């Protein structure tokens, strides 16, 4: 996940007469709190449209997705079929019928599930979720960056709730310094590249945790942990997970 400079992009779009769409499928969680919105999403209101996947942060069903646009009437203009047997203008409460505004017409009202969740938690409840996720992610970044613990190293600066990091096996680390990719040699990088797949395999078989790994910007395979909707995730659990990952790496 990454957050783009929305204000600058908006200026380019205006000058070139381009539609500005923001893919906030994952990063849109930051909009739930004024604090995280101000940090990550300044200028996002300038977009013509935005997508957000509540199942990635708000615990909704997979098919509950959001598309927003600030252009009134656009969804109906794009999607309406004017099926006379369905959308009679002389029916009661026609202003509540969104069937002609969406490609799904009369299928499942998945947005209702999101509405119920929002009624239960309220704006304040979701804001607290976002702020806790941000705080926990900041703590995790500091944990793997700690200069006194050479077992881990930060691969890239944190982006919201996404943290990319390496687990450094004992064969590659020293007690005196953290792993530094800039000063490491090619042989060390090749060994490190093989660590994450093997650790993940062992964790998966042992039922420990499911943490993805990937190559980013040509770096050796690094783990990417995402910490959304963290009301039930505790620092203690993450510390135990890191300890387990380190033990598995040392055993390679």
Q: Within this chain, do residues 111 and 145 fall inside the same structural domain, yes or no?
A: no
Instruction: Tell me the pLDDT tens digit for each residue of 170-216.
Output: 999 876 678 888 888 899 999 999 999 999 999 999 999 889 999 99
State the residue range of the domain holding 173.
Answer: 128-251
Helix axis angle, 235-250 relative to 186-206, nearest 10°? 120
Q: Within this chain, do residues 140 and 231 fall inside the same structural domain, yes or no?
A: yes
Question: Using CA atoms, how far apart are residues 52 and 79, in angstroms rounded to an integer?
Answer: 19
pLDDT over 70 at 229, yes or no: no
The verdict on residue 1 lying in a domain is: no
Q: Within this chain, do residues 66 and 98 fall inside the same structural domain, yes or no?
A: yes
How many structural domains does the chain have? 2
Q: Which of 71, 92, 121 is the last residue of a domain?
A: 121
Q: How many CA atoms lie less than 13 Å away from 230 in the CB half-sphere?
A: 25
- Parallel, antiparallel or unpaired: strands 66-69 and 162-167: unpaired
Quote the pLDDT of residue 95.
79
Quote the pLDDT of residue 108.
64
pLDDT over 80 at 76, yes or no: no
Q: Within this chain, do residues 117 and 146 fall inside the same structural domain, yes or no?
A: no
Kindly report the pTM of this predicted structure: 0.85
**pLDDT classification of 106: cutoffs 50, 70, 90:** low
Question: Using CA atoms, how far apart are residues 145 and 162, in angstroms rounded to an integer?
Answer: 14
The verdict on residue 242 lying in a domain is: yes
Mean pLDDT of 111-125: 93
């Amino acid at each position: 996940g990454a957050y783009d400079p929305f204000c600058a992009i908006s200026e380019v779009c205006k000058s070139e007469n381009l539609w500005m769409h923001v893919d906030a499928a994952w990063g849109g969680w930051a909009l739930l709190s004024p604090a995280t919105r101000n940090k990550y999403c300044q200028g996002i209101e300038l977009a013509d449209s935005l997508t957000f996947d509540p199942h990635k942060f708000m615990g909704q069903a997979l098919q509950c997705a959001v598309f927003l646009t600030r252009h009134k009437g656009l969804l109906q203009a794009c999607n309406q079929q004017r099926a006379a047997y369905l959308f009679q203008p002389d029916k009661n409460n026609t202003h509540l019928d969104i069937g002609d505004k969406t490609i799904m017409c009369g299928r499942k009202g998945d947005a209702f599930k999101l509405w119920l969740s929002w009624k239960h938690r309220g704006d304040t409840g979701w804001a607290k979720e976002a702020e806790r996720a941000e705080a926990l992610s900041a703590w995790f970044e500091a944990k793997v960056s700690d200069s006194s613990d050479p077992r881990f190293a930060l691969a890239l600066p944190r982006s919201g709730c996404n943290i990319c990091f390496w687990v450094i096996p004992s064969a590659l680390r020293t007690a005196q310094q953290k792993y530094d990719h800039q000063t490491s040699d090619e042989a060390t990088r090749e060994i490190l590249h093989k660590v994450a797949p093997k650790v993940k395999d062992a964790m998966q078989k042992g039922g420990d945790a499911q943490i993805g790994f990937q190559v980013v910007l040509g770096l050796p395979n690094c783990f990417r942990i995402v910490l959304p909707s963290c009301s039930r995730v505790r620092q203690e659990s993450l510390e135990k997970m890191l300890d387990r990952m380190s033990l598995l790496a040392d055993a390679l």
